[in-house]
Amino acid sequence: MDLFILLITAAISSGTPLLFAVLGGIISEKAGVINLGTEGIMLIGAVISCIVFIQTGNLFVTLVAAVFAAAGLGFIHAFLCISLRSNQIVSGLAITLFGTGLSAYLGKAIAGTALAVSVPKIKLPWLESVPFIGRIFSNLDLFIWVSVALAVLLYLYMYKTSLGLHLKAVGDSPSTSDVMGISVAGYRYFHVIAGSMLMGLAGFYLIMVYSPNWIEGMTAGRGWIAIALIIFARWNPLYALLCAYFFGGLDALGFRIQLFDIGIPSYFLKMLPYVSTILVLMFIGWKNRHNPPAEPTSLGIPYFREQRF
Amino acid sequence: MNQKITAGQPSVPMKKGLRRFRSLPFRIEYDPHKKSGGWWIPLLSIGAALAICALFIALNGMNPAVVYGKMLQGAFGSSFGFSETLVKAIPLLLCGLGVAIAYRISIWNIGAEGQLIAGAIGATAVTIFAPNLPGPLYIPVMMLAGAAAGAAWGLLTAIPRAFFQVNELISSLMLNYIALLLLDYFVFGPWRDPEGFNFPGTPIFTPSQMLATIGGSRLHFGLIFALIAVAVFAFLLSKTRWGYELRLLGANPSAAAYSGIKANKHILIVMMISGGLAGFAGMLEVSGTAHRLMYGISPGYGYTAIIIAWIAKLNPWAMIVSSVFIGGLIVGGYSVQTIGLPSSMSLMLQGSILFCLIGGEMLSKYRLKRVSEEGK
Amino acid sequence: MKKLLGLFLLIMMFSILAACSQESASDPVKEEPAKAVDSESTEPKKIVKPRVAFVYIGVPGDGGWTFEHDKGREMVDETFSIESTTVENVPEGPDAERVIEELAQNHDIIFTTSFGYMDPTVNVAKKYPDVVFMHATGYKTAENIGTYQGKGYEPGYLAGVAAGKLTKNNKIGYVGAFPIPEVIYTINAFTLGAQSVNPNIEVSVVWSNTWFDPATERQAAISLLDEGVDLLANYQDSPAGIQAAAERGVWGMGNDSDMGHYVPETYVTNPVLNWGPYYVEVVQSVVDETWKSGAALNGLKEGMVDIAPFGKNVPQDVQDLVNAKKQELIDGTLNVFTGPIKDQTGEIKVADGETVSVEDILGMNWFVEGVKGTIPK
C-alpha cells in the first residue's frame, strides 16, 4: 500500500511536465495543425525561465516570460503552416532544430547557475486525515493543480462550449466552417500559439520544479513523448491527464523494480512505458474497431480556401 | 494546368489580415495550382536563411562571410570534406527513401531511427553468432540480416496499425526508444567486447565483415547501393501497377478501397520496405563506418531523414540532392566549430534554412494580381 | 529536373574519382615534399605556439564531465597564451572520426575526451603520425597516442568514508549512469570506504541509463529516497539527484565536478576531476619535444582527482577523518582495492593482502559485498 502511494505520487510528479505539453499539443491538433516543434518550444520555455528567474527572482514574471517566448516560436510555426501553408511536419522539425539551438545558445552564460526557487506547495490539512488519498493529494505543488485545472478547463472548453465546437469544425472540416463564417485562419493561429504557450509552460515546470538549473537539451526527448501521448489520449484533455500519469508512473515503476533485484536488466525495465503504451493502444483499438477514429480529420492538411466546393 | 480558379466568382482575399491592402492596385493571391517556382526558389530561400543567420553570427562576434566560407569548404571544398558529406548522406538517403514510401500512403512512420538501429543489431548478430562464415559471404548475409531486422521492426509498427488501428506515429516513436534500449542492452551486456575492458561496444569486425571503402577515404560502397535503391524506388513507383495502387491509396483511400485495393496488405508491405531500407542503412553504418556495434550508433539519422524526405517532396531523385545538402550542412556545422562557432549556432542555422526553404517554396505560389473591379 | 540530376550525379562521380586518385597518390610519397615546404630547412619545425584542440562529448555547460575538461582547456590557454580549438557535442562514432581528422590537419596536439573516441582516434592517428593524440579513459596507445585517466576510485573511497560516517539508518542510495567499469569501480570504492568506518551499511544502486537527462535522474533518485535512504550519491553529470535529495533534507553527493553550490545545506562532498595541470604538462612536453606515449593513470597524489570542499553542515570530525584517509591514500599506506574483499555472493574475490591489478580495476564488472543492485550481463 505504501509503495502504491509513493508510486502514484511519483507518477503525478513525473507526468506533470508531459501533461502541459500534451495539452498544448491537443489544442493545436484539434485546430488541425500538428506541432512537431514541442521539444524545441519546451527548451526555449525552460531556458527563458532560467534567464528571467536569475534576473528577477519572481516566479510569476518568469512564467509570463517563458510562455510568451514559447508563443513567439508558436507564431513562426503558425505563420508558416497557416499563412504560407507550408508542410507542417518540416516546419515543426525546423522549430525543434531552431529552438534546441537557440536555447543552447542563450543558455551558455547561465549553465550551472543554481536557481534558488521554491515553488509554493498547496497544503490541504483537511485532506490529510483521509486515508490513501490524503497522503497523495495533501501536499502537491501549485503547478500540479494548475495542470489539472487546465485539463478540466480545456475539456469543458472543447466539449461544452460553442467555441469548442467551432474548434472541432475547424479541425475536421475547415471548408465547412469557412462557409459557416468561422475564421479558419483565426482559430488555427489562436490555438497553435496557445498550444505553444502550454509547451513553454511545460519547459517552465521542468526547470522550476524538476531540476532547477539549466542544462543543454534538458528535456531529453520529452517533447516527442508528449506528441505521442496526444494520440494516446485520443485528443481528449481528461484522457491526457490519465495518459501522462500512466506514462510517468511506469517510468517510475521501472526504477523501483530495479530495487527489488529480480535480475531483469534495467534496459528492459526502462522499456515498460513504451511497450505498455503500444499494448494499451492495441487493446483500445481492438475495442473501438467499429467506431470512427478520434483524430481531427483535417490534421496536417493546410487549408486552401479556393478548394471549397 | 495553370487556370484561374477564381474566375466566375468574386475573388476573396485569402485572409483577413490582407484586407488592409485593398487600396493598393495589386493584391497578393494564393494559387495552389501554380507550378512551384524554378530552380532559383530554393537558392533564394537559402540566401534568405543565410542572411538571417548572418545576423546571429554577427551577434556572436564573428564574420558571417568567414563562417559560411568555412562551412562550404568543410562540407564540399575538399575531397576529404566532400567524401565525408557523402558518407553522411548515405544513411540519410536510405532512411529518407524509407520514410518517403510510407508517407506516400499517408503512413506517418517516424520510426526510421529504431528501424536503423534494429538493422544495425541484425547485421551485427551475424558477426556474433556466425563467426566462422567464409569471408565473402559476410557482407551479403549481413545486408540481408540488416534489412530483415529493419523490416521486422517496421512490421511491429504495421501490424498494430493494420489490425488494431494503432496510430503509427505513436507506435513507431515508442519503438525507437525500445530499439535504443535494446541496443544498450546488447552493447553493455551480452555482446560487449570481452577484451574491451567491459566498455559498451562489440568487438571490432574482421576485415571481411567491413564494407570496402573507396580510395583512402571513408566513403564506402554503400553509396552505390543507396543510388540503386533510389532508381528502383523511382521505377517501382512510377512504372508498375503496385506503384499506381500506392499512389491511388495515398491520394484517395476510399476510392482505392472501392477499386479493390487492400489497404492493410499495402500497409504491411510498405512498412516492411520502409523498415528494410532503414535497416539496410543500419547495416551500412556498422559495417561501413563504425566497424562495430556501439552505444549511440545513430546520431538521429532516422529523424533527419524525415526532413530529407519532405524537402524533396517525397521524390526519390530529389532526395539525392536533399540528403547531400543536409549531410553537408551537418558536416559543415562541425567544421565551423573549429573556428569558434558554438554547436548551438549550427543547429539554429539548420532550423533557419528549413524555415526559409519551406516558406520560400510556398511564397512562390503567391502572385501579384491586379485588383479587378468586381473584387472591390 | 532530370537534367539537373544527371549533372549532379556526374559531378559526384567526378569528385569520387578525384578523391580516389588524390588519396591513393598521397601516403608516404607525397608527404615528404609537403613537409619540406612547411619548414624550409630539413629540421622539423619547432613548435613555438602549440596548436591545441579538444573534442568534447557534451558542452562545457554540462556542469560535469565536459565542464571539467574545459576548465583544463582554459588553464592551457592561459599558460601558453593560445586559443585552443574546441569542438563540442561530437557523437562517438563516425562523426568523431571526421572531426578528429579535420582537426589533425592543422593541430599539434588533440585531446579526445570521451571513451567512445578511442577507435576514431586510433584510425586518425595512423594517418597523421606527426600529431600527438591524447585520449581520455581509453586503453589503446600507439606511437603518437597517449591515454590518461584519473583514479576515480580514490576520491570515491573518501566520499564513501564520509557517507559511512553520516548515515544514520545505514541505508545509502547510489544512482549510476551506466554499468561501465568507471562507474562500477567508483561504487565499489565508495562502498568499501563506507564499510571501513561502518560495516553495517548497505548501498542500493539504481541505473538511470542516461548521461544527459536530469528529469530521469531525478526519478531514479526519488525511487531511492522513497526506499528511505538517508544519503544519496550520484554518478551523473547533472545535480538533479542531489537536488531531489535536498528537498527531503537528505545528504547528497554528486560526481565529476563540485556541486556544492546547488544544495548548500545538504551537500557532503564528491569526487572531482582536475585535468588542468596534467594538460599543461602534456602540452609543455610536446613543445619541448620530450613527449612520449604512455598510459597515465593519476590519482590524488598527482592531483588529477580530488574531493570537492565539504558542505557547510558536514561535522568537523567527519572532515578530519576523511582528510586523514586522503593523506594515507596519497602516501600509499592505504590502497582502496586491497583484500580481503568479498563480492556480492559473499565469496572472497580478493584474498587478504592481495591488491587488484590496474587492468582488473579498469575492467571491473562485479560489485563488492554490501552493494544491492545488479550489473546487467
Query: What domains lie within chain B, and their CATH numbers?
Result: 79-340 (1.10.3470)
Mean pLDDT on A152-177: 86
pLDDT at B9: 36
Residue C373's closest chain A neighbor by CA? Answer: A261
- Pairing status of strand C109-112 against strand C145-150: unpaired
pLDDT at C7: 47
List of chain B residues with pLDDT < 50: 1-22, 373-376
Rounded CA gap, B18 and A187, in Å? 17
Rounded CA gap, C274 and C303, in Å? 7
Please give the CATH topology (third level) of the domain spanning A2-116+128-295: ABC transporter involved in vitamin B12 uptake, BtuC (1.10.3470)
Q: Chain A contact for B344, CB < 8 A?
A: yes
* Nearest partner of A82 among A158, A179, A174, A177, judged by Cα: A174
- Pairing status of strand C171-176 against strand C202-207: parallel
Backbone angles phi, psi at C54, to 5 degrees: -125, 135
Model pLDDT for residues A82-140, shown as the tens digit of each residue:
888 888 888 898 899 899 989 988 888 888 788 877 777 877 777 777 777 777 777 78
Cell of C168: 544514520
CB A211, CB C215: distance < 8 Å = yes
Helix (H) or strand (E) holding A139: strand A139-141
**Count of other CB atoms within 10 angstroms of residue A114:** 18
Backbone angles phi, psi at A122, to 5 degrees: -95, 110
What is chain B's alpha carbon radius of gyration, rounded to the nearest angstrom? 24
Q: Chain A contact for C247, CB < 8 A?
A: no
The residues, ordered by sequence, that sit 6+ positions from C333 with a Cβ below 8 Å of its Cβ are: none
Strand blocks (E) in chain C: 52-55, 85-87, 109-112, 132-136, 145-150, 171-176, 202-207, 231-235, 251-253, 271-273, 295-298, 305-307, 341-342, 348-350, 371-372
Rounded CA gap, A108 and A50, in Å? 11
Burial C133-143 (b: 16+ CB within 10 A, else e): bbbbbbbebee
Q: What is the domain partition of chain A in residue ranges?
A: 2-116+128-295
* Nearest partner of B112 among B104, C36, B120, judged by Cα: B120
Per-residue pLDDT of chain C (377 residues; tens, 9 = 90+): 444 444 454 444 444 434 443 333 333 333 333 333 343 444 455 667 889 999 998 888 777 888 889 999 999 999 888 889 999 888 887 888 889 998 998 899 999 998 888 888 998 999 899 899 999 888 888 889 999 988 889 999 999 999 999 999 999 999 998 888 889 999 999 999 999 998 999 999 999 888 878 888 998 999 999 888 999 999 988 888 998 999 889 999 988 888 888 888 899 998 998 898 999 999 998 888 888 888 888 888 888 899 999 998 999 999 999 999 999 999 888 888 887 888 888 888 888 888 888 888 888 888 999 898 888 77
Cα angle A96, A102, A108; round to 5: 135
Of the two residues B127 and A308, the one the predictor is more confident about is: B127
CB A191, CB A27: distance < 8 Å = yes
Rounded CA gap, A259 and C173, in Å? 10
Verify whether the Cβ–Cβ distance B310 to A95 is below 8 Å.
no
Rounded CA gap, A201 and A49, in Å? 9
Rounded CA gap, A264 and C356, in Å? 29
Residue C26's closest chain B neighbor by CA? Answer: B216
Rounded CA gap, C152 and C268, in Å? 17
Range with the lowest mean pLDDT among A60-74, A271-285, B87-101? A271-285
Q: Chain A contact for C214, CB < 8 A?
A: yes
Rounded CA gap, A49 and A202, in Å? 11
What domains can you pick out in chain C, each with its CATH number? 46-150+275-298 (3.40.50.2300), 153-270+308-372 (3.40.50.2300)
Backbone angles phi, psi at C169, to 5 degrees: -100, 10
Q: Establish how many alpha carbons lie within 13 A of residue B249's alpha carbon, considering only the half-sphere containing its beta carbon.
A: 23
Chain B hits for A94, CB-CB cut-off 8 Å, are 307, 350-352, 354-355, 358
First to last CA, chain C: 54
Verify whether the Cβ–Cβ distance A213 to C63 is below 8 Å.
yes
Verify whether the Cβ–Cβ distance A281 to B160 is below 8 Å.
yes
Verify whether the Cβ–Cβ distance A231 to B306 is below 8 Å.
no
Verify whether the Cβ–Cβ distance A183 to B167 is below 8 Å.
no
Burial B67-104 (b: 16+ CB within 10 A, else e): bbebbeebbbebbbbbbbbbbbbbbbbbbbbbbbbbbb
Q: What residues pair up with C234 in beta bridges, in sequence order?
A: C175
* Nearest partner of C274 among C54, C61, C60, C68, judged by Cα: C68
CB C242, CB C217: distance < 8 Å = no
pLDDT at B283: 93
Rounded CA gap, C141 and C138, in Å? 8
Rounded CA gap, B229 and C155, in Å? 55
Rounded CA gap, A13 and A141, in Å? 9
* Nearest partner of C136 among C103, C110, C102, C107, judged by Cα: C110
Residue where the block lists cell 522550476: A208
Rounded CA gap, C286 and C313, in Å? 44
Nearest beta carbon to residue B189 from set C85, C88, C377: C377
Average pLDDT in chain A: 86
Chain C hits for B223, CB-CB cut-off 8 Å, are 16
Give the DSSP letter of residue C169: S
Residue type, C17: L
Mean pLDDT on A297-307: 65
Rounded CA gap, A154 and A172, in Å? 18
Q: Chain A contact for B188, CB < 8 A?
A: yes
Residue A301's closest chain B neighbor by CA? Answer: B106
* Nearest partner of B12 among B365, B361, B371, B362, judged by Cα: B371
Specify the 3-state DSSP secondary structure of B284.
Answer: helix
Q: Chain B contact for A297, CB < 8 A?
A: no
Rounded CA gap, A177 and C368, in Å? 69
Q: What is the interface pTM, i.e. ipTM, of the complex?
A: 0.87
Rounded CA gap, B330 and B75, in Å? 8
Chain C hits for A267, CB-CB cut-off 8 Å, are 209, 376
Scan residues 86-145 of A and list those with Cβ closer than 8 Å to C. 104, 107-108, 111-112, 114
Chain A hits for C210, CB-CB cut-off 8 Å, are 220
Q: Establish how many alpha carbons lie within 13 A of residue A200's alpha carbon, considering only the half-sphere containing its beta carbon.
A: 28
Distances (CA, A) of A211 to A19, A244, B90, C316: 17, 19, 39, 30
Distant-in-sequence contacts of C131-135, Cβ < 8 A, 24+ apart: C131/C104, C131/C107, C132/C108, C132/C282, C132/C286, C132/C291, C133/C100, C133/C104, C133/C109, C134/C109, C134/C110, C134/C282, C135/C111
pLDDT at A307: 42
- Give DSSP secondary structure letters for B12-40: --SSGGGGGGGGSSEEEEE-TTSPP--TH
Scan residues 183-222 of A and list those with Cβ closer than 8 Å to B. 183, 185-186, 216, 221
Rounded CA gap, C367 and C345, in Å? 9
Verify whether the Cβ–Cβ distance C180 to B200 is below 8 Å.
yes
Residue where the block lists cell 569501480: C185
Chain C hits for A222, CB-CB cut-off 8 Å, are 215
Rounded CA gap, A225 and A245, in Å? 13
Q: Chain C contact for A212, CB < 8 A?
A: yes
The residues, ordered by sequence, that sit 6+ positions from A286 with a Cβ below 8 Å of its Cβ are: B164
Residue A16's closest chain C neighbor by CA? Answer: C215
pLDDT at B25: 58
- Give DSSP secondary structure letters for C237-297: SSTHHHHHHHHTT-EEE--SS--TTTSTTTB---EEE--HHHHHHHHHHHHTT-----EEE
Cell of B208: 571481411
Rounded CA gap, C140 and C295, in Å? 9
CB C206, CB C223: distance < 8 Å = yes
Q: In this complex, which chains have at least 3 CB pairs below 8 Å with chain B?
A: A, C
pLDDT at A277: 87
